[in-house]
């Protein structure tokens, strides 16, 4: 599922896309899309999150990602709107995969194109930090210890709190 | 009548993904929860865990919030995406 969101004010021109999908994504292609058609962006920051082999001491085999269709998109759209109010953003893209993901696979992509690097870095980190604590995704880890739904981490909540200043 | 959705660990514990629920006298999240808890120990333990979150029509909500016919209610554990 994906859609484009164009805010009503021309002064706040920003192109935003959110995709929740099972299939993988092409990081290089996403970067090219963020470059866009006009030379208005002087900085692009992209983040991707991957399935890591070790988590809390157990040997991970794969992750199963579940989400709440509809609410996920509206939470992410809301976070993008908050980011737009805080920083200058020309283009933004969030991709989050769901379903079964094996070791080393890409899970999530957040990319920001902005006039300046400070805005691009900050907006990208803000979106990742709040995605982790607010967007309704759940990870189940399949490891040599069996299947476990992961718990929310205190450190992730601390990262969220840090943006409220 | 409302729709209730259950996600992740909660969905597996209860063995239920969604159901239609007759509101009756219950008009708040808390009242619906306490009706659901009468289904047995499993429901009681699963739904009253203090970290269980609730959304009404896909907006995070609180126990004291009002629920109306046609609403979509969802119960789920803290989120762990990214």
Chain B nearest C-alpha distance from A49 (Å): 7
* Contacting residues of B for A137, CB less than 8 Å apart: 79-82
Reported ipTM: 0.94
Q: What is the pLDDT along chain A (165 residues), one digit of tens a residue?
A: 455 555 544 445 678 899 999 999 999 999 999 998 889 999 999 999 999 887 767 788 999 999 999 999 999 999 999 999 999 999 999 999 999 999 999 999 999 999 999 999 999 999 999 999 999 999 999 988 899 999 888 888 888 889 986
Decide if B82 contacts A132 (C-beta within 8 A). yes
Domains of chain A: 15-48+69-135 (3.90.1170.40)
Write the secondary structure of chain B as one string of H (helix), E (strand) and C (coil). CEEEEECHHHHHHHCCCEEEECCCCCCEHHHHHHHHHCCCHHHHHHHHCCCCEEEECCEEECCCCECCCCCEEEEECCCCCC
8 Å CB contact of A137 and B81: yes
Contacts of A68 in chain B (CB under 8 A): 5, 7, 55, 58, 74, 76
What pLDDT shows up at residue B45?
Answer: 95
Q: Quick one: pLDDT at residue A157?
A: 87
- Is residue A86 within 8 Å of residue A20, measured between CB atoms? no
Cβ distance of A68 and B77 shorter than 8 Å: no
Q: What gap in Å lies between CA A140 and CA A138, rounded to an integer? A: 7
Closest alpha carbon within chain A to B8: A138
pTM of the model: 0.90
């Amino acid at each position: 599922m994906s859609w484009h969101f164009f805010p009503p004010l021309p002064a706040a021109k920003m192109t935003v896309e959110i995709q929740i999908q099972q299939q993988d994504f092409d990081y290089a292609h996403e970067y090219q899309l963020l470059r866009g058609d006009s030379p208005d962006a002087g900085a692009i920051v992209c983040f991707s999150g991957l399935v890591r082999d070790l988590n809390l001491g157990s040997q991970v085999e794969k992750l199963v990602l579940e989400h709440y269709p509809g609410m996920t998109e509206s939470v992410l759209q809301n976070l993008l709107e908050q980011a737009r109010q805080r920083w200058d953003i020309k283009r933004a893209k969030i991709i989050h995969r769901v379903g079964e993901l094996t070791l080393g696979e890409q899970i999530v992509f957040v990319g920001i194109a902005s006039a300046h690097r400070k805005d691009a870095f900050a907006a990208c980190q803000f979106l990742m930090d709040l995605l982790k604590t607010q967007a309704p995704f759940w990870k189940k880890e399949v490891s040599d210890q069996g299947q476990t739904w992961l718990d929310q981490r205190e450190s992730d909540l601390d990262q969220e709190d840090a943006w409220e200043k | 009548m409302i729709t209730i959705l259950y996600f992740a660990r909660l969905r597996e514990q209860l063995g239920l993904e969604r159901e239609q629920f007759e509101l009756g006298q219950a008009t708040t999240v808390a009242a619906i929860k306490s009706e659901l808890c009468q289904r047995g120990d499993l429901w009681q333990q699963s739904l009253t865990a203090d970290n269980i979150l609730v959304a009404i029509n896909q907006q995070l909500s609180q126990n004291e919030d009002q629920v109306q016919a046609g609403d979509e209610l969802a119960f789920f554990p803290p989120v762990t995406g990214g």
